Amino acid sequence: MFGFFIQRIVQAAIVVVAMSILVFVGVYAIGNPIDVMIDPAATQEIRDNLIRQYGFDRPLYEQYFVFVGNVLQGDFGQSFIYRVPVLDLIFSRLPATFELALGAMLLASVVGIPLGIWAGYRPHAFSSKAIMTLSILGFSLPTFWVGLLLVMTFAVQLHWLPSGGRGPTSDLLGVPLSFLTPTGWSYLILPAFNLALFNMGLLIRLARAGTLEAMSSDYVRFARAQGLKESKVVGLHVLKNISIPIVTVFGLEFGSTLAFAVVTETIFNWPGVGKLIIDSIMVLDRPVMVAYLILVVLLFVIINLVVDLLYGVLDPRIRARRSA
């Protein structure tokens, strides 16, 4: 088990280093951030001073090692644009994205998995065919289009829900959250649903495929022969056996939903990190880009670790193999 952790941490470290180098080289190749930001009326002297002040005149490797040195002391630097520590900037917006992504994944699972199991359990029923058609729509419709449609319908036409923003939040252990109040929910529900659609379609398909396969297996036949109720057969035996791929996909998708919720965040004006990172890329705000991507890498590593641990919980055979 311990070796497993070490291996993961080393992998993460390599990815983080490779990625930070990529960002540095990438920004360097595009050009000088000062040229993007500076006011057209600036004189050459002002421009040169700024370039010196931010160290853009130094060779790339030097800029990189200064950065690495600071990071090793726990300092990710300050945003060029806001001149506030990048970690403060990112963490002030992370709860919003986290809440949105988690809401979306839970919504996708709660709706998607039961529907998928039903579709696999009664593959020829009309309802199953309808579910499958809907699932195709779920992952083939572009998010931004569905998002706009949702806003037009529920906010502009029906006036049921707000068109965007996060609304008032309430604090839980110092973290501002929306889901604690009905008003918060009214802001959360549309973007969460929009973000959930793709994953819902994916989970429906996965659960259906797994169920189809499981239904024809021996253990289902034996369970039925034992006289177990159908709800027990599906809810216990089938669900357990199809959960490994579902957990895997859930983990992967949760990571990417979290890291790349930017389209939904933009349409619903959700104050998450996605919007922050896009804006940072637009102005080549390198410290924010690097710190955010490092965070994303760590997040993926943690999620994958949790997924691996869950395998053991779900499947005794994996547990046995690992302890062996």
Partner 1 sequence: MLFRKNAILAITLALIGSTTLSSAVLADDLTVGVRAGPDSIDPHWSTLGSQAESLRHIFDTLVGVDKDLQLQPAIATSWTPVDDDTWEFKIREGVKFHGGSDLTAEDVKFSIDRIPLVTGPMSMTIYTKSVESVEVIDDYTVHVHTKGAAATLPNDFIRMFIVSSEIGTVGNEEFNSGAAAIGTGPYKFVSWEPKGDLVLERNADYWGGAPHWENVVRKEIPNDASRVAALQSGEVDLINYVPATDYAAMQNDSRLDTFIADSVYILNITPSVKDTLPVKAKVDGVEIDANPFQDLRVREAMDLAINREILSDVVLEGLGKPANQLMPATFFGGSTDLPAREYDLERAKALLAEAGYPNGFEVDFACTNNRLPGDAAVCEALSQMWARAGLTVNANALNGTVFFPAQQAGEFSLWLSGWGTLTGEASYTYGSLVHTADPEKGLGAFNKSGYSNAEIDALLEEGARTLDDTARAALYKQVTELSMNDRVLIPTVVIQTVWAAKADTLTFEPRVDQETLAQLIEPVAQ
- Residue with smaller CB distance to partner 1, 189 or 246: 189
Nearest to 99 by CA among 230, 271, 245: 271
Could you tell me the smallest distance in angstroms from the CB atom of residue 21 to partner 1? 20
Should residue 153 be labelled a site residue for partner 1 when binding is judged by CB under 8 A? no
Question: Between helices 286-314 and 239-259, what is the axis angle to 10°?
Answer: 170
Per the CB < 8 A criterion, the answer to whether 243 and 314 are in contact is yes
Should residue 143 be labelled a site residue for partner 1 when binding is judged by CB under 8 A? no
Which amino acid type is present at position 210? G
Q: Which member of 16, 214, 261, 276 binds partner 1 (CB under 8 A)? A: 276
- Residue with smaller CB distance to partner 1, 183 or 304: 183
**Total residues in contact with partner 1, by rule CB under 8 A:** 62
Nearest to 71 by CA among 301, 302, 293, 300: 293
1-30: contacts with partner 1 (CB under 8 A):
30
Runs of H (alpha helix) within 141-285: 143-150, 182-215, 218-225, 230-232, 239-259, 262-267, 273-282
The CA–CA distances, whole Å, from 302 to 126, 219, 324 equal 41, 34, 24
Q: Which member of 205, 208, 237, 275 binds partner 1 (CB under 8 A)? A: 275
Distance of CA 62 to the CA centre of its chain: 33
Should residue 198 be labelled a site residue for partner 1 when binding is judged by CB under 8 A? no
Should residue 98 be labelled a site residue for partner 1 when binding is judged by CB under 8 A? no
- Residue with smaller CB distance to partner 1, 255 or 271: 271
Position of tokens 């398909």? 205
Q: Which member of 103, 112, 210, 271 binds partner 1 (CB under 8 A)? A: 271
* Pairwise CA distance, residues 299 & 250, whole Å: 14
E strands, the chain, are 170-172, 175-177
- Residue with smaller CB distance to partner 1, 105 or 277: 277
Q: Which member of 76, 254, 268, 292 binds partner 1 (CB under 8 A)? A: 268
241-260: contacts with partner 1 (CB under 8 A):
none
Q: Which member of 1, 2, 40, 124 binds partner 1 (CB under 8 A)? A: 40
Residues at the interface with partner 1 (CB under 8 A): 30-47, 49-50, 54, 80-84, 89, 92-93, 114, 118, 127, 148, 151-152, 155-156, 159-165, 182-183, 185-186, 189, 231, 266-269, 271, 275-276, 279, 281-284
